Structure 1
Amino acid sequence: MEFQHVSLAQRILFGAGKASAHIRLEVNRLGSRKVMVIASKPEHHLAQATLAGVNVALWWDDVAQHVPLERAEAARAAAAQAEIDLIVCVGGGSTTGLAKAIALTSGIPVVAVPTTYAGSEATNMWGITEGRTKTTGIDDTVLPVTVIYDAELSRTLPTKLSISSGLNGLAHCIDSLWAPKADPINQALALEGARALSSALRGIVDNPADLEAREQALYGCYLAAASFASAGSGLHHKICHVLGGTFDLPHAETHATVLPYVLALNAPAVPEISSRLAVALGRPGPLDSDGPKDAAAALNVLYEELDAPARLADYGFQASDIPEAVGRILAVAPPSNPGTVTEESITGLLTDALYGAKSFPVLCTVD
């Protein structure tokens, strides 16, 4: 066994009902005097309540998915003018993404308070969209210095959005199993993250107010992000970045929809890790069984139980968009992807995802 594993330096504070106290602790610990709070308009009141007792110098709510460059530049200018020395972002991946965009050019530290299961808060990846192209990069400057997880804050997240956000986290786990820098440590983190997320999402569907399930979802999404940050961006994320940045598809729903079809492409090439994934997703069985089929079956059962997103057509993607998407995906697809990446295979993948086709190994009979 020989590999190189990289772990990111970050402080994690976890506890239901503890967000306000933890934010005050970090503001004091970091010696901040001018705090900028980023929260979208729908979450402004939640952010205000969470930041009670903190002297906020600048509130910012101009947030959009995929971080359009013009919005990033406006937020950067506002932070510079207000002489901000700490950013606190409260919300989902778009909110965290904007905070990262400011940090990228200013070096201002970020404290992230996630209310969804996106996982961006635990990675050093940034993304900015300009001219229908989403550019991503890796820079430790954008890694939040602290992440504050509070399951009470995610209780307000509607069940449908909880499902798509949690499946976005699951996509981080599965992509990490065969991403360019996958290793045994981040595979172990990813598999435990997949187990926690699949269990948590079932619990949230049964009872959206279940605090223990919400805590498990946050735990799982952190493990997903930590494994993804180490393993790098695999084919799944390259596909979704193209679909989001070029065609403005919703982030979480796109990840959730595409995931089974990427698994269908890759699982047959990695049967051993697919067997372990099947067990993590709730389909127990011997590791020498048909791993790809078992993994696909387990994921399909989970999707049926959750009534998960299934068709890109539901979010505005069209058949006429496929050729451009295929060209952009082929240009960025990792050479190390286990499944064969060709114009034909990616066209087939996107066509299946467009219409929600159910074909082996995406849909398998459960014994």
Structure 2
Amino acid sequence: MASSSAPQVITCKAAVAWGAGEELVMEEVEVSPPQRLEIRIKVVSTSICSRDLNARKYQAIFPRIFGHEASGIIESVGQGVTEFNEGDHVLTVFIGECMSCRTCKSGKSSICQVLGLEKKGLMHNDQKTRFAVKGEPVYHFCAISSFSEYTVVHSGCAVKISPHVPLEKLCLLSCGVAAGLGAAWNVADVSKGSTVVIFGLGTVGLSVAQGAKLRGASRIIGVDKNPRKCVNAKVFGITEVIDPNLYKERPIAQVIRHITDGGADFCFDCVGDTDIITTALESCCDGWGVTVALGVPKAKPKISAHYSLFLRGRTLKGSIFGGWKPKSDIPSLVEKYMNKEIQIDDYITHNLPFDDINKAFNLMAEGKCLRCVIHMPR
């Protein structure tokens, strides 16, 4: 419920992107009070996802505050907010859940018609921004913008969690880890004894591996050109690794079909490359092979595949946030973490202060990390 005194504009530090490919600049930003059905959050921890990295290079809307994997504490609430109070601990989610639209009621999809993917850098309610630098608007990203000490989000884009849960760990459930687990469990429905092939061994790919392992997959094959990402892959369930650089004379799909006796039961593209989606389809077995696309392509968005792949019974599925309905489902993942049924900590390879956010971007761009958690000033 709203407090007796109306929230005021807050001035704080944020990492602002002023142009494509440029380093983020620490700026003093004005953060407006939350409007109807919105909450203002003091960000505690946030992480860098490949989506942030690619958006900094290719997005056209600037200036902008990136960041969408985050945890924090509610500083104030807007009118009409009934499920949150000041002081509540929350995770942000880039796809919200309004609980009342056709999609939310259907039980068939997690892509809310009201709070789905944000593309214009503006708030869902009034198509305006809540950030400004010297009076000039600064745009949002993924409806979250967590690279700021304070941010404003729609209340449907936050999930309340226990104050006893470590916020600096759980921010990874805002996107990467949840997306991978859900792709294995909800979208593909990986079966016991199956063979799984995962293209891309970043946080999302290794979360798919963890999900497949917990479902009892017998072989979990990772495909990645970066040897650094293969070193600890077995910790998350990978049973063997293929480096495509070692098979330049043969298509990698041909290699996979050979070593799996006709193709994998499940393939996952966790890179965001439409050519790899085609390769994943070709790596599946006839009759029941399923390919799941998780990555967001940086370029060449159209997929090219021979129709006979589908006539032979192969299926291609898309996955956004692993098919989770955030408010309904994410609390169960938090509980699994607290019960040590799923692992999150091992994905965190670096912990850095907010001032080092550009260093974190460089580590991800160079393939030297899984997740860098950025810790905000207390």
**TM-score in terms of structure 2 length:** 0.27
The structure with the largest alpha-carbon Rg is 2
Which structure has greater helix proportion?
1
Which structure has greater strand proportion?
2
